[in-house]
Amino acid sequence: MSRLLYIQASPRGERSHSLALADAFVAAYRKLHPKDAVETRNVFQMNLPALDGETLAVKYNIMHGEPSSDAEKARWKAVEEVIADFKAADKLVFAVPMWNFNIPYALKHYLDVLCQPSYTFSAGPEGYKGLCAAKAFIAYSRGGEYPATGAAQDIWNFQSTYLEFQLRFIGITDVQSAIVQPTLKGPEALQKAKDAALAKALEIAATF
Protein backbone atom coordinates (compact mmCIF):
# COMPACT_ATOMS: atom_id res chain seq x y z
CA MET A 1 0.00 0.00 0.00
CA SER A 2 1.25 3.46 -0.89
CA ARG A 3 0.79 6.77 0.89
CA LEU A 4 0.16 9.59 -1.55
CA LEU A 5 0.64 13.14 -0.31
CA TYR A 6 -1.24 15.73 -2.36
CA ILE A 7 0.42 19.13 -1.93
CA GLN A 8 -1.66 22.06 -3.11
CA ALA A 9 0.03 25.41 -3.78
CA SER A 10 -2.90 27.46 -5.06
CA PRO A 11 -5.15 29.35 -2.62
CA ARG A 12 -7.87 29.75 -5.30
CA GLY A 13 -10.01 26.71 -4.48
CA GLU A 14 -12.65 25.98 -7.12
CA ARG A 15 -11.24 28.64 -9.44
CA SER A 16 -7.79 27.08 -9.60
CA HIS A 17 -6.69 25.33 -12.78
CA SER A 18 -3.72 23.58 -11.20
CA LEU A 19 -5.97 22.21 -8.45
CA ALA A 20 -8.58 21.05 -10.97
CA LEU A 21 -5.91 19.19 -12.93
CA ALA A 22 -4.29 17.64 -9.85
CA ASP A 23 -7.74 16.77 -8.42
CA ALA A 24 -8.54 14.85 -11.63
CA PHE A 25 -5.20 13.07 -11.40
CA VAL A 26 -5.82 12.11 -7.75
CA ALA A 27 -9.39 10.97 -8.50
CA ALA A 28 -8.13 8.70 -11.30
CA TYR A 29 -5.37 7.41 -9.03
CA ARG A 30 -7.84 6.64 -6.23
CA LYS A 31 -9.99 4.58 -8.57
CA LEU A 32 -6.99 2.49 -9.56
CA HIS A 33 -5.60 2.21 -5.99
CA PRO A 34 -8.60 2.28 -3.66
CA LYS A 35 -6.58 0.92 -0.72
CA ASP A 36 -3.85 3.57 -0.83
CA ALA A 37 -3.88 6.41 1.67
CA VAL A 38 -4.28 9.87 0.13
CA GLU A 39 -3.67 12.93 2.28
CA THR A 40 -3.98 16.55 1.21
CA ARG A 41 -2.03 19.57 2.44
CA ASN A 42 -2.53 23.11 1.18
CA VAL A 43 0.67 25.06 1.83
CA PHE A 44 -1.36 28.26 2.31
CA GLN A 45 -3.18 26.64 5.25
CA MET A 46 -0.43 24.61 6.87
CA ASN A 47 0.72 27.11 9.48
CA LEU A 48 4.30 26.36 8.53
CA PRO A 49 6.96 27.17 11.15
CA ALA A 50 8.80 30.46 10.72
CA LEU A 51 12.46 29.96 9.91
CA ASP A 52 13.56 32.62 12.37
CA GLY A 53 16.97 32.98 13.99
CA GLU A 54 16.32 30.65 16.92
CA THR A 55 14.85 27.92 14.75
CA LEU A 56 17.65 28.20 12.21
CA ALA A 57 20.24 27.86 14.98
CA VAL A 58 19.47 24.13 14.91
CA LYS A 59 20.10 23.90 11.16
CA TYR A 60 23.54 25.47 11.64
CA ASN A 61 24.26 23.33 14.72
CA ILE A 62 23.58 20.25 12.58
CA MET A 63 25.80 21.55 9.77
CA HIS A 64 28.64 22.30 12.21
CA GLY A 65 28.22 19.09 14.21
CA GLU A 66 27.28 21.02 17.36
CA PRO A 67 24.56 20.16 19.89
CA SER A 68 21.34 22.17 20.22
CA SER A 69 19.80 23.38 23.47
CA ASP A 70 16.45 22.04 24.66
CA ALA A 71 14.79 25.35 23.77
CA GLU A 72 16.20 25.23 20.24
CA LYS A 73 15.15 21.60 19.87
CA ALA A 74 11.61 22.49 20.94
CA ARG A 75 11.39 25.13 18.20
CA TRP A 76 12.84 22.70 15.68
CA LYS A 77 10.14 20.10 16.42
CA ALA A 78 7.65 21.78 14.08
CA VAL A 79 10.20 21.57 11.24
CA GLU A 80 10.77 17.89 11.95
CA GLU A 81 7.02 17.23 11.86
CA VAL A 82 6.66 18.78 8.39
CA ILE A 83 9.62 16.73 7.15
CA ALA A 84 8.30 13.48 8.68
CA ASP A 85 4.91 14.01 7.06
CA PHE A 86 6.59 14.57 3.67
CA LYS A 87 9.03 11.67 3.94
CA ALA A 88 6.30 9.23 4.97
CA ALA A 89 4.84 9.51 1.46
CA ASP A 90 6.12 7.35 -1.35
CA LYS A 91 4.06 9.23 -3.92
CA LEU A 92 3.67 13.01 -4.24
CA VAL A 93 1.22 15.06 -6.26
CA PHE A 94 1.72 18.82 -6.50
CA ALA A 95 -0.64 21.51 -7.82
CA VAL A 96 1.53 24.52 -8.64
CA PRO A 97 0.59 27.84 -10.25
CA MET A 98 3.19 30.15 -11.78
CA TRP A 99 3.54 33.32 -9.72
CA ASN A 100 5.94 35.93 -11.00
CA PHE A 101 7.65 33.33 -13.15
CA ASN A 102 8.29 31.11 -10.14
CA ILE A 103 6.35 29.10 -7.56
CA PRO A 104 4.00 30.77 -5.01
CA TYR A 105 5.76 31.96 -1.86
CA ALA A 106 3.93 29.51 0.42
CA LEU A 107 5.35 26.58 -1.56
CA LYS A 108 8.81 28.15 -1.29
CA HIS A 109 8.28 28.35 2.47
CA TYR A 110 7.29 24.66 2.51
CA LEU A 111 10.43 23.72 0.53
CA ASP A 112 12.62 25.87 2.79
CA VAL A 113 11.24 23.98 5.80
CA LEU A 114 11.70 20.61 4.09
CA CYS A 115 15.21 21.03 2.74
CA GLN A 116 17.31 20.41 5.84
CA PRO A 117 20.72 18.74 6.13
CA SER A 118 20.66 15.18 7.50
CA TYR A 119 16.87 14.98 7.00
CA THR A 120 16.25 15.40 3.28
CA PHE A 121 19.82 15.76 1.99
CA SER A 122 23.33 15.06 3.19
CA ALA A 123 26.53 16.89 2.35
CA GLY A 124 29.83 15.04 2.37
CA PRO A 125 33.20 15.04 0.64
CA GLU A 126 31.58 13.44 -2.41
CA GLY A 127 29.02 16.22 -2.60
CA TYR A 128 25.30 16.39 -1.89
CA LYS A 129 23.06 13.35 -1.66
CA GLY A 130 19.25 13.44 -1.66
CA LEU A 131 17.63 11.41 1.13
CA CYS A 132 14.07 11.25 -0.25
CA ALA A 133 12.83 8.66 -2.68
CA ALA A 134 9.18 9.36 -3.54
CA LYS A 135 7.99 9.67 -7.11
CA ALA A 136 6.09 12.79 -8.11
CA PHE A 137 3.46 14.16 -10.45
CA ILE A 138 3.19 17.94 -10.80
CA ALA A 139 0.16 19.78 -12.20
CA TYR A 140 1.36 23.22 -13.29
CA SER A 141 -0.75 26.20 -14.35
CA ARG A 142 0.41 29.40 -16.00
CA GLY A 143 -1.45 32.49 -17.13
CA GLY A 144 0.83 32.82 -20.14
CA GLU A 145 2.52 30.25 -22.31
CA TYR A 146 6.09 29.14 -21.91
CA PRO A 147 7.83 26.84 -24.38
CA ALA A 148 9.40 23.65 -23.03
CA THR A 149 12.77 24.31 -24.62
CA GLY A 150 14.75 27.21 -25.99
CA ALA A 151 15.85 30.61 -24.88
CA ALA A 152 12.43 31.92 -23.81
CA GLN A 153 12.00 29.10 -21.33
CA ASP A 154 15.50 29.60 -19.95
CA ILE A 155 14.77 33.24 -19.31
CA TRP A 156 11.14 33.27 -18.16
CA ASN A 157 10.22 29.95 -16.56
CA PHE A 158 11.65 29.57 -13.07
CA GLN A 159 8.57 27.66 -11.92
CA SER A 160 9.14 24.10 -13.17
CA THR A 161 12.90 24.55 -13.44
CA TYR A 162 13.22 25.67 -9.82
CA LEU A 163 10.76 23.18 -8.31
CA GLU A 164 12.16 20.21 -10.19
CA PHE A 165 15.74 21.25 -9.37
CA GLN A 166 14.89 21.45 -5.67
CA LEU A 167 13.08 18.09 -5.74
CA ARG A 168 16.05 16.48 -7.52
CA PHE A 169 18.35 17.95 -4.87
CA ILE A 170 16.52 16.05 -2.13
CA GLY A 171 16.44 12.81 -4.14
CA ILE A 172 13.11 13.03 -5.95
CA THR A 173 14.19 12.27 -9.49
CA ASP A 174 11.16 10.40 -10.85
CA VAL A 175 9.05 13.44 -11.75
CA GLN A 176 6.32 13.69 -14.38
CA SER A 177 4.12 16.69 -15.10
CA ALA A 178 1.30 18.21 -17.09
CA ILE A 179 0.79 21.92 -17.66
CA VAL A 180 -2.37 24.00 -18.14
CA GLN A 181 -1.21 27.01 -20.16
CA PRO A 182 -2.24 29.65 -21.06
CA THR A 183 -5.03 30.10 -18.51
CA LEU A 184 -5.44 33.85 -19.12
CA LYS A 185 -5.60 34.16 -22.89
CA GLY A 186 -9.28 33.61 -23.50
CA PRO A 187 -11.79 30.77 -23.12
CA GLU A 188 -10.88 28.95 -26.32
CA ALA A 189 -7.17 28.72 -25.54
CA LEU A 190 -8.02 27.78 -21.96
CA GLN A 191 -10.30 24.90 -22.97
CA LYS A 192 -7.72 23.56 -25.39
CA ALA A 193 -5.04 23.78 -22.71
CA LYS A 194 -7.23 22.08 -20.09
CA ASP A 195 -8.14 19.22 -22.45
CA ALA A 196 -4.50 18.58 -23.43
CA ALA A 197 -3.25 18.75 -19.82
CA LEU A 198 -6.03 16.47 -18.57
CA ALA A 199 -5.32 13.85 -21.24
CA LYS A 200 -1.64 13.84 -20.29
CA ALA A 201 -2.38 13.74 -16.55
CA LEU A 202 -4.74 10.79 -16.91
CA GLU A 203 -2.20 8.92 -19.01
CA ILE A 204 0.40 9.40 -16.27
CA ALA A 205 -2.09 8.47 -13.52
CA ALA A 206 -2.73 5.10 -15.19
CA THR A 207 0.78 3.89 -14.33
CA PHE A 208 1.70 6.12 -11.38
For position 183 contacting ligand FMN by CB under 6 A, the verdict is yes
For the bound state, the minimum distance from the C-beta of residue 186 to ligand FMN, rounded and expressed in Å, comes to: 13
Given 99, 158, 162, 169, the residue binding ligand FMN (CB under 6 A): 99
Residue by residue, DSSP assigns 86-126 as HHT-SEEEEEEE-BTTB--HHHHHHHHHH--BTTTEEEETT
Given the complex with ligand FMN, which of 101 and 121 has the nearer CB atom? 101
Given 5, 6, 7, 10, the residue binding ligand FMN (CB under 6 A): 10
For position 186 contacting ligand FMN by CB under 6 A, the verdict is no
Are 11 and 44 a contacting pair, CB within 8 Å? yes
Distance between CA atoms of residues 114 and 39, nearest Å:
17
> Cβ–Cβ contacts within 10 Å for residue 71, how many?
10
For the bound state, the minimum distance from the C-beta of residue 182 to ligand FMN, rounded and expressed in Å, comes to: 7
Which whole-number Å values give the CA distances from 155 to 54, 149, 178, in the listed order? Answer: 36, 11, 20
For position 17 contacting ligand FMN by CB under 6 A, the verdict is yes
Residue ranges binding ligand FMN (CB under 6 A): 10, 12, 16-19, 97-101, 141-144, 183-184
